[in-house]
Structure 1
């Protein structure tokens, strides 16, 4: 813990079998990290080539298991975020010869299963989105339909939906879709965000320039690394120690209020989690 403040990484992955897993959690905790939101790795990275929605269950359940292990290493706790990576649509269409509509239906079925775990209290939030790269119009349309299914579940369950999307400073059209089905815009989280964003709550990549922008704006924001825990890409994205180190840097720079925003206020607004109370419970 750093100066008695909770420190939350809003989006990272842990490989339960093939890479660092709990060792990465220990690194995070050793430098002051207290809370994690762990997003399941893309299904095919865990050896699952789904044919039905139920095929995603092993991915979700293995993620829940490693989150339980992670919580035992933290002064606070970890929560699972479950869903279907939007890049799956390209794998299905380009590599497995699915029609875009068939890929959409399979991915929606996976989102439906993820929602079951949220409803049961075994997961905190859903993950969806659309490709961050150029795709054919019919693939784009199908991807947006999958994302809207996630919004429907988020509204029904009163839970947040984390999005993997293209880089943008304005996704208000996307949050309009969410609000159309009853999911408030602040419960839509743009993962891998910059410091400036209209529409969703930004989960800001913890690079200093992005954080400086978010702090200057003064709006609600979260902090993340998108650590991918991939043995084939050991240096990709940011390491698990990054968020605690950036929190320390923000505090040393006099940005106590911004740290409170990112690690206490915004998590409560978006996810209904109390990072302070969960610290106190474990002390």
Structure 2
């Protein structure tokens, strides 16, 4: 348990509004010192949506906004929504539903465009995109990269961050370069489920102690996450909602006070333009 009033942000987790712990997970987070969270919409098919066009994602985004509002009511700080299209959808569209990769690309780009409407209106903080973290055919890979580039374009238009779900790597400078080519600075690109060392995007480090120590020692901007998926079939996966506060307490015990401020105050401000201190004080 963290014994002082400091922001503690989980940069990437999911909350199921209907079928699992939902707000109970938020309460667990708060009980051990959590204050802020970025809630990413669950994959569209997990919420019963089989998209055939961009507009079909809107119910997914609306349900996410509802659970984020409910989460904010429980938090000492607040929650923000991150909306977009899970890159694994392309395999579902192509392999299970018979779409050509180019058709799947356009459906997913349409979903990014709808998500961008919520950022533009101020209802969402950032976009989510990426590419499969597993082997796919060349045409599926190319289509996925095209979807990700669309997210960078929209992020540049809106001056908002883009969270990426992508393959494990410690060097994604090429991807960060694509963002910069689109007009989105590399520091507004976040690699979710990252290791403690990453070139290119800002790492959102999964809360493994070794990886957090690497990030802390490195001294570069980083964030902390659980990727909690709130799935009734996988309780506690990927990491439970109490993990970020507990890892913050451990980092403080190990003397990494500056790293904690980096991850929970300075980097959120730099990447997302959010002030975790003032939102905590006003709450």
- What band does the TM-score fall into relative to the shorter chain? over 0.9
Contact 2:130 2:166 in 1 (8 A): yes
Aligned residue in 2 for 1:211: 212
Aligned residue in 2 for 1:6: 7
1:167 and 1:253 map into 2 onto residues whose CA distance is 27
1:77 and 1:269 map into 2 onto residues whose CA distance is 18
Q: CA deviation at 1:236?
A: 2.1
Return structure 1 stretches of 4+ with deviation > 2 angstroms: none
Q: What is the SS of the residue equivalent to 1:97?
A: coil
1:270 and 1:7 map into 2 onto residues whose CA distance is 16
Aligned residue in 1 for 2:243: 242
| 1:152-202: CA deviation from partner (whole Å, max 9, x where unpaired) | 000000000000000000000000000001000000000000000000000
Is 1:174 the counterpart of 2:175? The answer is yes
Residues 190 and 2 (structure 1 numbering): CA distance in 2 closer, same or farther, change over 3 Å? farther
1:253 and 1:216 map into 2 onto residues whose CA distance is 12
Aligned residue in 2 for 1:278: 279
Is 1:164 the counterpart of 2:182? The answer is no
| 1:8-31: CA deviation from partner (whole Å, max 9, x where unpaired) | 000000000000000000000010
Q: CA deviation at 1:210?
A: 0.5
1:51 and 1:167 map into 2 onto residues whose CA distance is 29
| 1:215-253: CA deviation from partner (whole Å, max 9, x where unpaired) | 111100000000000001114210000000000001111
Is 1:108 the counterpart of 2:100? The answer is no
Aligned residue in 1 for 2:66: 65
TM-score (norm: length of structure 2): 0.99
Structure 2 stretches lacking a partner, 5+ long: none
User: After the TM superposition, which residues 2-81 of structure 1 pair with which residues of structure 2 at under 5 Å, given as runs?
Assistant: 2-81=3-82
2:270 and 2:55 map into 1 onto residues whose CA distance is 31
Q: What is the SS of the residue equivalent to 1:175?
A: helix
User: After the TM superposition, which residues 59-208 of structure 1 pair with which residues of structure 2 at under 5 Å, given as runs?
Assistant: 59-208=60-209
Q: What is the SS of the residue equivalent to 2:74?
A: coil
Aligned residue in 2 for 1:224: 225
Q: Please provide the CA RMSD for this pair.
A: 0.6
Structure 1 stretches lacking a partner, 5+ long: none
Q: CA deviation at 1:2?
A: 4.2
Contact 2:230 2:236 in 1 (8 A): no
Instruction: Give the count of matched residue pairs.
Output: 282
Contact 2:228 2:236 in 1 (8 A): no
| 1:77-127: CA deviation from partner (whole Å, max 9, x where unpaired) | 000000000000000000000000000000000000000000000000000
Contact 2:248 2:260 in 1 (8 A): yes
TM-score (norm: length of structure 1): 0.99
